[in-house]
A and B are shown apart, each in its own frame.
Chain A
Amino acid sequence: MEPIEQIRVRAETAVPGAKIDIVPNPGPANQLSLLIDSAHATDVARFLRDDTALRLDFCSNVTGVDWLDRTVKRTSKVKRVVDGEEKEVDESAEEKIPGYLEAVYHLYSMAHKHGPVVIRMRTTDRGDDARLPSLTPVWRSAEFQEREIFDLYGVHFDSHPDLRRILMWDEFVDHPMRKDYVPPDDFEWEPTPHDEVLARAKQHYTPRPQLDGAEKITTQPQS
């Protein structure tokens, strides 16, 4: 398969206006990925699928990743005048990267039997209305997997044919795969009520009424 840099250049020329970056992968697997801007994602995906040299007709794996806000320390050499002399000094700067949600697609070609080409899309923030374009019209295999990302990560896929929760039930409110997800503690019934769990659960309930009719039952035989 052609190198990923070449794929990037060809995709950018084929889809005018598209901005594609290569995301490095420092590990030994060496699977680099293409970061695609949301506005042109569908066109780029169509190009990857239909291009005669690539023919990435098989979208194998679609998944979400949650990246929290993080600070990255970067050291750079800066020239500075110290005691009248120009010296190179290490200067560390902290860069704050706001969090985002990511959708990752692993593409293979059944026609040419090569792959994987990894493409990713990022949302602008981790808010409740995080949006990405759906690639289900391009690859049908994304249908259930994008639903799963919507369910577990809370990414809304525009123009998805049937965007509903898939693994959790419809009334569920949160997105459990997010890194800052807190499991609920208002258990209806705790089979083995440990003291700590019971104390937490009790905060959610009004105490049971003391008079529930049971006090009227007596063990005395009725005459």
Chain B
Amino acid sequence: MSATMETIEAMERPPVTMSSRLDGELLEVSMGPQHPSTHGVFRMNVALEGEIVRKLKPVFGYLHRNHEQIGEHTSYLGSMPYTDRLDYFCSMTNNWAYALSVEKLAGIEVPERAEYLRVILAELTRLQNHASLLGFLLSDMGAWGTPLMYAFREREKILDLFESLSGSRMMCDYMRFGGCRVDASDEWLAVAKKIVDPFPKFLDEFEELILQNEIVIARTQNVGKLSLELAISAGITGPMLRACGVNYDIRKVDGYGIYPRFKFRVPLGEHGDTYDRLMMRALEMRESVEILKQALPQIPPGPIVNPKVKLRAFRPPVGEAYGRIEAPKGELGFYLISDGGPNPYRYRVRPPSFINLTVLEDMCLGHTVADVMVILGSVDIVMGEVDR
């Protein structure tokens, strides 16, 4: 044993210095798919020069199950619970986007109470998605656990609300074509109000603790800058687009549902860097709270589903429709073609986080490996949606 150790020690080795070994040579590293900061099974093939990223190619498909083909082989209603599994953080908004597209395809009206419920649930979804994103992002930066648990405490309250309404915390399957599945009681609305009212306090605390933190600022400001022109050309949507300063919020632009009735502002960034993307989430949560504070007292009594819509043997007329909403991660759209049958002829999901990854390479070039994790975290991806 000792003899071998001696021979190893006696072996002559070339001197290793970073400059002589890596200068001008690119080292290809496969980051993921099992890396914890890739938020699932996402892989990046990165070419590194020292620690600097010179090339980055995302690799998809580890969670691919051809969601679209399954959607084409099942009935319109049958796809509704499956949309929960796309972006499993935001099943309510997935449901809404799908219901909205089918309603466009078949020309279905939605009763007013159902529209209010949809707005309330979508904004609650936005709150819990953004809160947990901030937690995850800080976790990526090395603030292990504590900020994430802090955010999850708030998220848990909202998930409890979802559970008491729909029966499930995350896989809600709540919306139906022309309305919602179950009605919310007055007690539920009172509890929702109790959760929403103190939410700004959590935001104040969270922002003070974390967003003004010196380390967070050093790790995020001027990291992963995205120019306005590239963001528009690459079809970036959601908070990531608005961080570049583009005033484009589908809640305002399309005014779908009953969003034109509510007063809220669209926060905009200036630099398009990771810090702006982070702040965008914090500011959007405040606006969501504003919407909720208006919607919760206003909700009128009435039916929650359009009685004319047949749930069983639902066959929309021949035609096609593209419907989209402002999901927490960006523009979530469904493109449906009906041939008059019980299944859609074409069922397409436009996943926001998949398309937001188009510019991942552009944002990461010239930054270090450690920054790649932070930049990826600020894109806000969910692999259930990216790979479908």
Contact = CB atoms under 8 A, between A and B. Distances in A.
A144 B236 CA distance: 12
Interface in A107-160: 110, 113, 116, 118, 139-141, 143-145, 152
Given A31-B322, A63-B335, A177-B68, A139 B348 contact: no
Nearest to A177: B69
Contact of B387 (A58, A140, A167): A167
A168 B104 CA distance: 32
B347 to A, nearest CB: 10
Nearest to B348: A63
B316 interface: yes
Contacts of A63: 335, 346, 348, 350
A110 B232 contact: yes
Given A31-B321, A144-B355, A169 B232 contact: no
A25 B350 CA distance: 20
Contacts of B104: 28-29
Interface string A14-30: 00000000000111110
B236 to A, nearest CB: 8
B60 A167 contact: yes
A110 B266 CA distance: 15
Chain B contact residues, majority secondary structure: mixed
Interface in A8-46: 25-29, 31
Given A28-B106, A58-B232, A60-B350, A113 B317 contact: no
Given A104-B335, A140-B235, A167-B61, A27 B358 contact: no
B46 interface: no
**Residue among A140, A145, A169 with the most chain B CB within 10 A?**
A140
B102 to A, nearest CB: 10
Given A27-B321, A140-B230, A177-B69, A61 B350 contact: yes
A65 interface: yes
A111 to B, nearest CB: 8
Nearest to A57: B232
A142 to B, nearest CB: 8
Contacts of B348: 61, 63
Nearest to A33: B320
Contacts of A167: 60-61, 64, 66, 387-388
A176 interface: yes
Interface string A163-182: 00011110000001100000
**Residue among B235, B335, B350 with the most chain A CB within 10 A?**
B235
A118 B236 CA distance: 19
B277 interface: no
B78 to A, nearest CB: 18
Q: How large is the interface on B (under 10, 10 to 19, 20 to 34, 35 or more residues)?
A: 35 or more
Contacts of A65: 337, 345-346
A58 B335 contact: no
A54 interface: no
B322 A118 contact: yes
A168 B317 contact: no
B338 A141 contact: no
A130 B237 CA distance: 31
A176 B69 contact: yes
A58 B105 CA distance: 23
Interface in B331-346: 331, 333, 335, 337-338, 345-346
Contacts of A61: 322, 324, 333, 335, 348, 350
A120 to B, nearest CB: 10
Nearest to B345: A65
A60 B331 contact: yes
B354 interface: yes
Given A27-B319, A167-B387, A139 B233 contact: yes
A59 interface: yes
Contact of A28 (B107, B324, B337): B107
A10 B379 CA distance: 38
Contacts of B373: none
B325 to A, nearest CB: 12
A145 B246 CA distance: 23
Nearest to B59: A166
B387 A27 contact: no
Contacts of B387: 167
A59 B358 CA distance: 13
Interface of B: 60-61, 64, 66, 68-69, 104-107, 230, 232-237, 246, 248, 253, 316-322, 324, 331, 333, 335, 337-338, 345-346, 348, 350, 354-355, 357-359, 387-388
17 contacts: A26-B317, A28-B317, A31-B320, A31-B321, A60-B237, A61-B333, A61-B350, A65-B337, A65-B345, A106-B335, A139-B235, A141-B358, A143-B234, A144-B357, A145-B355, A152-B66, A177-B68
Interface of A: 25-29, 31, 57-61, 63, 65, 104, 106, 110, 113, 116, 118, 139-141, 143-145, 152, 166-169, 176-177
